[in-house]
Each structure stands twice: as structure tokens, then as C-alpha cells.
Amino acid sequence: MSNDLFGIHAAALELRSQRMGLLASNIANAGTPGFKAKDIDFAGALRASERGAEVDRAAAGATLYRVPVMPSLDGNTVELQSEQVAFSENAVGYSATLEFIRGRVDTVTRALRGD
């Protein structure tokens, strides 16, 4: 039922949540020598989810290592400013998706109450 009610938005919310965790890990490890930054190709993961893949599997299949513009001498590939921008953009997308789902729930709740 949730797929019918929320459509692709339920998967999008879960993917954005997973991506947020990955980006937060990148930011937290900005000073860790040898740390390799990763990201989820959100659009690719969402397409895989639309084709029937479980969200976790879709995210895993769309997880890529970042290629830094300026590699550091210690092998760390985190570019802090890029990670912060990606985190902020993802947070905005997460909030928008959550608001859409809240609106859907409110609509269904009003319909059930007869408002």
C-alpha cells in the first residue's frame, strides 16, 4: 500500500537518508589519511528502485568513489567544500521529499475523517 500511496517518494526518502549518512562520513573523515570519499548516484539508485530493486541494493549498486579534483598527498580524497555542498543539496531534497509525504498523509487523514 505504501508504494501506491507514496509512489517513488518513499524510496527517494530512504535513498536520501542513506546518502546523507555517506556524505556525513566523508565530512567526518576529511582529515583521515587514505580515506576514500564515496557518494551515491541518487538518480541511478532511484531508477534501479523503480525497476524493482530493493532500496539497499539499489544504493549499494549506485555507490561510487569520488575522484578528487586535487588529490591530497596523504591519499585522502575528501574535498570538504564539495562534500558540504552535496550534503546541503541532499538535505534540501530530503526535506522536500519528506514534506511531500507529509502532505500525502495529511490528505489521506482528512479523507478518512471526512473533512
- Residue 53 grid cell: 530493486
What pLDDT does 54 receive?
A: 93
What pLDDT does 79 receive?
A: 97
Domain assignment of residue 31, given as a range: 2-113
Residues contacting 95, CB < 8 A, separation 6+: none
pTM: 0.87
pLDDT tens string, the chain, 115 residues long: the values are: 455 677 899 999 999 999 999 999 999 999 999 999 999 999 999 999 999 999 999 999 999 999 999 889 999 999 999 999 999 999 999 999 999 999 988 888 888 898 7
Residues contacting 89, CB < 8 A, separation 6+: none
- Residue 14 grid cell: 530512504
Number of domains in the chain: 1
What pLDDT does 50 receive?
A: 93
What pLDDT does 1 receive?
A: 41
Say how far apart CA 41 and CA 2 lie, in whole Å. Answer: 24
